[in-house]
Amino acid sequence: MQVTKLSFKDQILEGIPGTLPQPKPYDSSINHAPKRKAILSSEEKKLALRNALRYFNKKYHEVLLPEFKDELDTYGRIYMYRFRPDYKMCARPIDEYPARSKQAAAIMLMIQNNLDYAVAQHPHELITYGGNGGVFSNWAQYRLTMKYLAEMNDEQTLVMYSGHPMGLFPSHKEAPRVVITNGMMIPNYSKPDDWEKFNALGVTQYGQMTAGSYMYIGPQGIVHGTTITVLNGFRKIGKSPKGNLFVTSGLGGMSGAQPKAGNIAGCITVCAEVNPKITQVRLDQGWIDEKITNLNELVERVKKAKADEETVSIAYLGNIVDVWEKFDEANVHIDLGSDQTSLHNPWAGGYYPVGLSFEASNDMMANEPEKFKEEVQKSLRKHADAINRHTEKGTYFFDYGNAFLLEASRAGANIMSNNPELGREFKYPSYVQDIMGPMCFDYGFGPFRWVCASGKPEDLAKTDEIACNVLENIKKNSPQEIQQQMADNIQWIKGAQENKLVVGSQARILYADAEGRMKIAEAFNNAIKKGDIGCVILGRDHHDVSGTDSPYRETSNIYDGSRFTADMAIHNVIGDSFRGATWVSIHNGGGVGWGEVINGGFGMVLDGTKEASSRLKQMLFWDVNNGISRRSWARNEGAVFAIKRAMEVEPNLSVTLPNYVDDDLLETI
């Protein structure tokens, strides 16, 4: 009997299949998540299996039980590989999705983009980036969510509990279509091993920043911010990028943007990566120019690049600690240094210790987790020592926000300041403290992004042109305080096409303030209304002005003692939800680790309607100025300037401003 193959639309509408699909072989050609450490007791393993089997009809439990047990024993998680769809995983044009709601179809598009093989770090484990940033925990959740979205109407809201679709609930047209939480733990149960345990049980997940928010757009999502960081890093040390060297590490998810950003900035970039598969992917994608596997060859290549003042990005397939030590020995001067390994996830694949191969590390982290932790911490101490030797020679080093300094300090590395101040405990700053915070976030500039739901490259080109025209008009009347930011953004968007930044969906990122975001979005909506382009999906990285409370990154330049509070992020997502966002999300955990940050995000669909125009103005204004007001209350001068300017523009905005205390007065007590 011939089995009829279901169409893409029919597979979506089917949800969890009524008949068991055939088991799928493990595909070793795909970049897979490392095996997670065994952390469950025998009784907890039974609970994890009960939790997994509840997605399926009881008649299949006898077949699925041994299969799921094998996955749990082998990989440390139950991914339900058998239920991976047969269709290609990619962002399709919005009209190809079976949906009663255009907004729901846009969310389906973004979910599939997050799991596109060209975008996702571990696509078969539903992990988009960062080693553990999950869209879902298993394939049953994916299938059920897509079915709910296909069935949803514009008076329902889908509720997502850490990857699990709780269900569709009655709401109204102006409510978000989806509300997402990820990893929202009771505070005393938010340590790294808690994530390992409860994720293995299948009851929570780590949404990273934009993975579990369905708003990741590939490494482009951070390349603009990285370009700005590198440019301003060189400005800070009074050097041109040309012929000068930027050394960093990590090519996996967001870190993969670093070499491309170095090329756009115009410097020499050396980026170390231990994973051969992802290194080759970045080479094939054109995000790195060259790959080198020998340290002596690397030294000679960098010396030549310096002599010829080249703009080139070089991936070193190997450990970053070896690079720092070899460059010290060979007297190769590093102008800018950083690190973007996933040290928010140090014990499960986020950082690989020097002296161990990639394969040996993966084996040790699963089978000897305590020994692996010792090796990581030993490596961090060596890593910090090598950086210290370079900074003594004049290198400017900054932490790129994935918890390098934090974890190095916990490892006992020589990384603490000799004269610590509140918020300045480490020898080296977070890049937000000295670059992105005072130069961008305080003024309201952050990673605004959009996706052309038609899937047409020509629509993306039109949106680039629209955005550029809007920015050039705004710049004519912008105050001197933000002229540099405006100029950088215009230069960026003009070069967006030639730099071939698209991976996955037809998406773009652009650092913009509230004025820029609202005016660009309004121009898009008008173009949609006229039929010049199709629907556009707006969003942003959580790494923004007001979406994230993260004391060692996004809010590290908050010095009034409130950087360990999370009111801003919570208010951000609440405020977005009733001002018109299509979907909202709030996460425990992000780029700096589980239990270290709370961050919120949104998505918004523009469809050319008057209603969309009203929503975008209300929501985008709040989404930025919420953060500026908090930063101004912390006495950040740029933010005080920005919020005063916002109040002049919007008469309905009235914000409490700080009164400054004379330092001499405080000295009297």
**Backbone torsion region of residue 593, taken as left when φ is above 0, otherwise alpha when ψ lies between -120 and 50, otherwise beta:** left
Give the HSE-up count for residue 336: Cα atoms under 13 Å, Cβ half-sphere: 38
The residues pairing with 426 across neighbouring beta strands, listed in sequence order, are 416
Helices (H), 237-275: 258-265
The answer to whether 200 and 52 are in contact (CB under 8 A) is no
The residues pairing with 182 across neighbouring beta strands, listed in sequence order, are 587
208 among annotated binding-site residues: yes
d(CA 553, CA 441): 12
The answer to whether 235 and 327 are in contact (CB under 8 A) is no
130 among annotated binding-site residues: yes
| Three-state SS annotation for 101-160 | CHHHHHHHHHHHHHCCCCCCCEHHHCEEECCCEECCCCHHHHHHHHHHHHHCCCCEEEEE
The answer to whether 580 and 614 are in contact (CB under 8 A) is yes
Unique residue bearing structure tokens 């290198």: 395
The answer to whether 364 and 613 are in contact (CB under 8 A) is no
| Both tokens assigned to 21 | 């699909």
400 among annotated binding-site residues: yes
Helix (H) or strand (E) holding 642: helix 637-649
First to last CA, the chain: 90
The answer to whether 220 and 503 are in contact (CB under 8 A) is yes
Give the HSE-up count for residue 153: Cα atoms under 13 Å, Cβ half-sphere: 4
Q: Which of 218, 5, 182 is nearest to 91 (CA)?
A: 218
Helix (H) or strand (E) holding 156: strand 156-161
| Residues 6 or more apart whose Cβ sits within 8 Å of residue 613 | 522, 525
d(CA 511, CA 443): 11
129 among annotated binding-site residues: no
CB atoms within 10 A of CB 657: 14
| Residues 6 or more apart whose Cβ sits within 8 Å of residue 458 | none
The residues pairing with 598 across neighbouring beta strands, listed in sequence order, are 549, 588
Q: Which of 211, 209, 82 is nearest to 140 (CA)?
A: 82
| Residues 6 or more apart whose Cβ sits within 8 Å of residue 404 | 339, 341, 343
d(CA 36, CA 39): 9
Question: Inter-axis angle of helices 220-236 and 483-494, to 10 degrees?
Answer: 130
d(CA 51, CA 168): 21
Phi, psi of 437 (to 5 degrees): -65, -65
Q: Which of 335, 346, 339 is nearest to 384 (CA)?
A: 339
CB atoms within 10 A of CB 529: 16
Q: How many helices (H) and strands (E) does the chain have?
A: 23, 19
Residue 160, helix vs strand vs coil? strand
The answer to whether 539 and 494 are in contact (CB under 8 A) is no
Residue 583, helix vs strand vs coil? strand
Residue 166, helix vs strand vs coil? strand
| Residues of each annotated binding site | 130-131, 208, 273, 400, 591
| Residues of each annotated binding site for NAD(+) | 130-131, 208, 273, 400, 591
